[in-house]
């Protein structure tokens, strides 16, 4: 089993790589090699089995995609993207990488398909940003994609391409709409959605965190561990069961900020909760009022995808995976 991960240097890419190296197998077959690719050279993880190749490459360079699929990986994880804020600030760069880069990848696969009967499994990381307010709660699986950002537009377009290329037999694609990942490990970042992780991660290690929105804001989350689980399941599941609608809203936990904080209190006590400082930020409030409150995810659940069932589990997953079980 030969695997390619594009966007391997990101948080999910690194955790996915780690998981693959630990299990050593995918779809009951031993993993012989993993190609790790990103715009910055991914760190080389320790491997006792699979041959690891790390390379720096930009998917918007026309030479990149053909070179990546030349070795015909059995499974391709496509996680690379310019993030929401940057795609909004830089119109050309967002379209060039998120849309043209993805299409270049799909077309490079098509060339190998046409000449050498190649047909890999392709797992595409889509996003809940494909929907846009006003949104019902919960959002049904058949709700239309009317994104309110260029990032969401680019993801929605790639979903359509993935479904069409799959329908034509060029590859076997599964698009997974990831919830907002929480708790993101690492340091607080400046992403507008960063506070969802910050207000849990920082207090768990005795640090203060700022909450810029009211407790009533409801949003849709899954742990990094669940995100890796979605990827693995999408790579190994029987895709005949999906049918032509290849893009699936992943399961997750819908919670208000208030419910998040109460989960933190149950896990880590009042002293942790007291480290959350409320500093309302009208810009962030305005943005997150348009974000998805939660999805039915009926199809994904019936196809075997699963996430946490409540916010305490999300916090405990973080403690187990990032704090060595100690809090």
Residues that bind a copy of itself (CB under 8 A): 91, 132, 141-148, 150, 153, 156-157, 160-161, 163-164, 167-168, 244-245
In this complex, which beta carbon is closest to a copy of itself, that of residue 20 or of residue 122?
122
Per the CB < 8 A criterion, the answer to whether 266 and 312 are in contact is yes
In this complex, which beta carbon is closest to a copy of itself, that of residue 162 or of residue 228?
162
Out of 95, 118, 151, 165, which one is annotated catalytic? 151
- Measured at the CA of 231, the angle between CA 201 and CA 143, to 5 degrees, comes to 90
Per the CB < 8 A criterion, the answer to whether 155 and 98 are in contact is yes
In this complex, which beta carbon is closest to a copy of itself, that of residue 164 or of residue 259?
164
Is 95 tagged catalytic?
no
What single string gives the DSSP state of each residue in 23-77? H-EETTEE--EEEEEESSPPP----SSSEEEEEE--TTSTTHHHHHHTT--SEEE
End-to-end Cα separation, the chain, in angstroms: 38
Q: How far is the CB of 156 from a copy of itself (least distance, A)?
A: 5
CA 74 to mean position of chain CA atoms: 20
Q: How far is the CB of 149 from a copy of itself (least distance, A)?
A: 8
Q: How far is the CB of 89 from a copy of itself (least distance, A)?
A: 12
In this complex, which beta carbon is closest to a copy of itself, that of residue 166 or of residue 223?
166
Q: How far is the CB of 160 from a copy of itself (least distance, A)?
A: 5
In this complex, which beta carbon is closest to a copy of itself, that of residue 88 or of residue 320?
88
Q: Which class for 189: exposed (0-12), middle (13-18), buried (19 or more C-beta within 10 A)?
A: exposed
Q: How far is the CB of 75 from a copy of itself (least distance, A)?
A: 24
For residues 197-209, one letter each, b for 16 or more C-beta atoms within 10 angstroms of the residue's C-beta and e for the rest, the string is bbbbbbbbeeeeb
Q: Which residues does the annotation mark as catalytic?
A: 151
């Amino acid at each position: 089993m030969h695997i390619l991960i594009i966007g391997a240097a990101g948080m999910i890419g690194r955790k996915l790589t780690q998981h693959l190296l630990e299990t050593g197998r995918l779809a009951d077959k031993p993993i012989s090699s993993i190609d790790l690719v990103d715009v910055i050279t991914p760190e080389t993880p320790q491997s006792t089995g699979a041959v690891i190749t790390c390379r720096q490459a930009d998917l918007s360079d026309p030479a990149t995609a053909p070179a990546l699929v030349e070795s015909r990986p059995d499974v391709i994880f496509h996680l690379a993207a310019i993030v929401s804020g940057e795609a909004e600030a830089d119109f050309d760069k967002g379209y060039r990488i998120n849309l043209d880069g993805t299409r270049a990848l799909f077309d490079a696969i098509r060339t190998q398909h046409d000449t050498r009967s190649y047909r890999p499994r392709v797992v595409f990381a889509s996003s809940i940003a494909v929907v846009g307010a006003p949104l019902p709660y919960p959002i049904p699986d058949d709700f239309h994609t009317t994104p309110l950002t260029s990032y969401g537009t680019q993801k929605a377009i790639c979903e359509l391409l993935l479904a069409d290329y799959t329908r034509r037999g060029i590859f076997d694609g599964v698009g997974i709409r990831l919830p907002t990942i929480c708790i993101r490990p690492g340091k607080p970042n400046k992403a507008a959605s960063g506070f969802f992780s910050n207000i849990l991660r920082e207090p768990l290690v005795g640090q203060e965190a700022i909450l810029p929105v009211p407790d009533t804001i409801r949003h849709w989350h899954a742990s990094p561990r669940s995100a890796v689980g979605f990827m693995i399941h999408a790579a190994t599941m029987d895709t005949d069961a999906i049918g032509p609608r290849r893009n699936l809203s992943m399961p997750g936990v819908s919670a208000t900020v208030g419910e998040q904080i109460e989960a933190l209190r149950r896990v880590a006590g009042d002293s942790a909760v007291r480290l959350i400082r409320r500093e309302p930020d009208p810009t962030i409030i305005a943005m997150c009022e348009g974000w998805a409150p939660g999805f039915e995810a009926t199809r994904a659940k019936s196809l075997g995808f699963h996430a946490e069932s409540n916010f305490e589990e999300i916090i405990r997953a973080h403690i187990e995976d990032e704090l060595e079980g100690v809090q």
